[in-house]
Amino acid sequence: MTSNRSKDRKGLRWQGSVAINNGSQIIQGLTIGENTIVGAGAVVVRDLPANCTAVGVPAQVIKVGN
């Protein structure tokens, strides 16, 4: 899923442009920051900041910034 606007869907909020790749799971009620990439198969269990890349189970931020 890629989005270019702020949305709130079933308790999940994403801001700006985000990329959520195949097989990712995100717990309800979390916020995904602008320009964030969630890697394939990642399980997101906490809010993710803007401008980062997160991968793994549970998802860990591996890159911040451009």
How distant, in Å, are the alpha carbons of 5, 38, 66 from that of 45? 22, 12, 23
What pLDDT score does 13 carry?
A: 87
What pLDDT score does 35 carry?
A: 95
pLDDT tens track for 22-63: 999 999 999 999 999 999 999 999 999 999 999 999 999 999
As a whole number of angstroms, the distance between CA 40 and CA 5 comes to 22
Q: Is the model's pLDDT at 6 over the cut of 90? A: no
What pLDDT score does 49 carry?
A: 96
Q: Is the model's pLDDT at 3 over the cut of 80? A: no
Helix (H, G, I), strand (E, B) or coil at 23: coil
Q: For the chain, report the end-to-end CA distance as a whole number of angstroms.
A: 20
What pLDDT score does 7 carry?
A: 56
Which CATH code for domain 2-64? 2.160.10.10
